[in-house]
């Protein structure tokens, strides 16, 4: 099976951040591979190990995103396409979905895997947009993948339970990080990744009109969350504090 996995470079949510006059200031060096995409890569690698095939990653991003691509290659992906962006564009999920769809238009593949959401913005839109643009069968929020008789069988997490869905190929699927623990590249993988091919592609070569990529949505500013009043910590003899807090929930917080 031929897997294309869409991977995104995102800011590390653990990196210190601050907001100044509505602008978000973060260390530009602290970028990571989106955790959900790492799960998608992992799952594709497992399926490739079982059934054979090829895993190629696709990333739209600035030059620095090559580090993110290397990470996926070090995990074991076979090759990569880097669709170059300057990083200054104000793209939203719809813009990325259009670029990805244009890239996939003339490609052959069985499965396009994506993350279920970007861990910095939690949008969760790109996957189903790509599927719609390419008229592919798809599912979202996969927590398990299997290949059976050339079809993709997806276990998806729904609102109250899980659904087993069978998709003919080619198809698209967005992956939850609850699916697996992505492998941490070992040193041999890191070394091998350097020799794996990264195809660099300009957006302009994909035959899309720049104006079409202009985002309909725009982040106008950032702000702090309304702070939660830090509460009180009760330390001491378990029995005593347990009863004390139970009482307070009734008399003070009024939630019993």
Ligand X SMILES: Nc1ncnc2c1ncn2[C@@H]1O[C@H](COP(=O)(O)O)[C@@H](O)[C@H]1O
Ligand Y SMILES: Cc1cc2nc3c(=O)[nH]c(=O)nc-3n(C[C@H](O)[C@H](O)[C@H](O)COP(=O)(O)OP(=O)(O)OC[C@H]3O[C@@H](n4cnc5c(N)ncnc54)[C@H](O)[C@@H]3O)c2cc1C
Q: Which residues bind ligand X (CB under 6 A)?
A: 6-8, 34, 36-37, 58-61, 93, 96, 114-115, 117-118, 121, 123-127
* Min CB(234)–another protein separation in Å: 5
Q: Which of 101, 109, 46, 105 has the alpha carbon at shortest distance from 75?
A: 46
Residue 119 binding ligand Y, by CB under 6 A:
yes
Of 188, 195, 184, 138, the C-alpha closest to 6 is: 138
The one among 35, 46, 201, 206 contacting ligand Y by CB under 6 A: 35
**Residue 227 binds which entry of ligand X, another protein, ligand Y, none, with Cβ cut-offs from 5 to 8 Å by kind?**
none
Query: Footprint of ligand Y on residues 160-189 (CB under 6 A)?
Result: 177
Total residues found in the chain within this entry: 256
Between the alpha carbon of residue 25 and those of residues 9, 10, 16, 221, the distances in Å are: 17, 14, 9, 12
Name the DSSP class of 208.
Answer: -
Q: Are 234 and 241 in contact (CB under 8 A)?
A: yes
Q: Which does 221 bind (CB under 5 to 8 A by kind): another protein, ligand X, ligand Y, none?
A: another protein
- Choose from ligand X, ligand Y, another protein, none: what does 114 bind? Cβ within 5-8 Å by kind: ligand X
Give whole-number Cα distances, 199 to 82, 196, 232, in Å.
6, 10, 56
Residue 53 interacts, among another protein, ligand Y, ligand X, none and using kind-specific CB cut-offs from 5 to 8 Å, with none
Instruction: State the minimum distance, in angstroms, from the CB of residue 117 to ligand X.
Output: 4
Residues that bind ligand Y (CB under 6 A): 35, 119, 177
């Amino acid at each position: 099976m031929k897997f294309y996995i869409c991977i995104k470079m995102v800011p590390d949510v653990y990196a210190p951040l601050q907001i100044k006059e509505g602008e978000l200031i973060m260390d530009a060096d602290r970028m990571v591979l989106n955790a959900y995409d790492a799960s998608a890569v992992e799952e594709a690698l497992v399926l490739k190990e079982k059934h054979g095939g090829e895993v190629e990653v696709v990333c739209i991003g600035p030059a620095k995103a090559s580090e993110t691509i290397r990470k996926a290659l070090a995990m074991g992906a076979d090759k990569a396409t880097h669709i170059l962006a300057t990083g200054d564009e104000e793209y939203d999920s719809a813009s990325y979905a259009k670029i990805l769809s244009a890239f996939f238009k003339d490609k052959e593949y069985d499965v396009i895997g994506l993350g279920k959401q970007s861990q910095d913005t939690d949008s969760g839109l790109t996957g189903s947009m790509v599927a719609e643009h390419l008229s592919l069968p798809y599912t979202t929020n996969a927590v398990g993948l299997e290949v059976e008789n050339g079809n993709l069988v997806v276990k998806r997490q729904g609102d109250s339970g899980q659904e087993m869905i069978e998709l003919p190929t080619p198809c698209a699927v967005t992956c939850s990080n609850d699916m697996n623990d992505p492998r941490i590249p070992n040193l041999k993988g890191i070394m091998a990744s350097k020799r794996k091919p990264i195809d660099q592609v300009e957006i302009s070569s994909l035959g899309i009109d720049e104006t079409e990529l202009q985002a309909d949505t725009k982040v106008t500013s950032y702000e702090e969350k309304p702070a939660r009043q830090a509460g009180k910590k009760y330390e001491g003899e378990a029995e005593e504090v347990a009863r004390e807090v139970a009482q307070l929930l009734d008399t003070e917080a009024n939630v019993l």
